[in-house]
Amino acid sequence: MPRVAALYRYPVKGFTPEECDMLTVRDDGRIAGDRVLGIRFADAAAADEAWRKKTEMVALMNTPGLARLHLRFEEAALRLHLSFASTVFVDTVLNQDGRQQLATAVAAYVLTLAENPLAGHPERLPLRVIGDGLTPRYHDAEAGQVTLHGRGSLHALTAALAHAEDCELRFRSNIALEGLGAWEELRRFLKKNILHPNTEAGRIRISHLGNSGWRSKRLSIACMAFLLSAIPF
């Protein structure tokens, strides 16, 4: 039986995820607490609250070493903890001073990496922390999709690629499914009429999905609106 195997959100755009027991789908179709912050270059012209491509930010695409970090975000307290192994880089409330501490700590770490977007680009410093910590807005696409993948597809892709690591985190999905064959999530969802994101808000739990279709105790297909707008394969 298909089941939701793992749920992820990414509080800081381009950084490591938090694994969650439950995700909340907002009325606008976005995941609460997902991509609510970003760390943008100083020379980026966009206003802090404006959406722009991640090429103007410190993110995994230009800083692979971010994958070594552990991030925890306390949404209610607006507190962020960032560490590497046993070393805590920052643990602070995101007021003005806390944002400066976070930006400084990230810049210092990034500049130690062999592959980074800051070395040789003084115009990109100082970094600035953007976002209110509440509004999901810094997704790859301005529409702010929720993404999913089936682990069967991941295993098939890994088998087809030499020396590939079977790790789903590289795809940055919010939802990972088990119990499906390779690419079956595409056939199941792309044939459906994906509803407008304002249709219904709801919650997604790690659980078995119902026999009569893609639904569980607290999730209907309406709650999963807009899920496949950006399949990460």
Nearest to 146 by CA among 230, 74, 206: 230
pLDDT, tens only, 70-99: 999 999 999 999 999 999 999 999 999 999
Task: Specify whether the CB–CB gap between 194 and 163 falls below 8 A.
Answer: no
For the entire predicted model, the pTM comes to 0.81
Task: Specify whether the CB–CB gap between 182 and 159 falls below 8 A.
Answer: no
Task: Specify whether the CB–CB gap between 64 and 42 falls below 8 A.
Answer: no
In whole angstroms, what is the distance from residue 151 CA to residue 174 CA?
13
pLDDT, tens only, 6-17: 999 999 999 999
Question: Which CA distances in Å does 75 have to 65, 133, 148?
Answer: 25, 7, 23
| pLDDT score for 203 | 58
pLDDT, tens only, 27-81: 888 999 999 999 999 999 999 999 999 999 999 999 999 999 999 999 999 999 9
Q: At 184, which amino acid appears? A: E
Task: Specify whether the CB–CB gap between 203 and 219 falls below 8 A.
Answer: yes
Sheet containing strand 79-84, edge to edge, reads 70-74, 79-84, 87-93
In whole angstroms, what is the distance from residue 48 CA to residue 131 CA?
7
Query: What mean pLDDT is predicted for residues 123-127?
Result: 98
Give the confidence band of 206 by pLDDT, cuts at 50, 70, 90: low
The alpha carbon of residue 54 and the mean position of all alpha carbons in its chain are separated, in whole angstroms, by 12
Give the confidence band of 186 by pLDDT, cuts at 50, 70, 90: confident
The alpha carbon of residue 181 and the mean position of all alpha carbons in its chain are separated, in whole angstroms, by 24
Query: What mean pLDDT is predicted for residues 158-186?
Result: 86
| pLDDT score for 209 | 41
What is the number of helices (H) and of strands (E) in the chain?
A: 3, 11
Give Cβ neighbours of residue 102 (< 8 Å, ≥ 6 apart). Answer: 39, 80, 82, 90, 92, 94, 129
| pLDDT score for 144 | 87
State yes or no: pLDDT of 169 exceeds 90. Answer: no
State yes or no: pLDDT of 130 exceeds 90. Answer: yes
Which token pair is 164?
A: 């590939």
State yes or no: pLDDT of 228 exceeds 50. Answer: no
Which token pair is 39?
A: 């760390």
Domains of the chain, residue spans: 3-29+141-230, 38-130
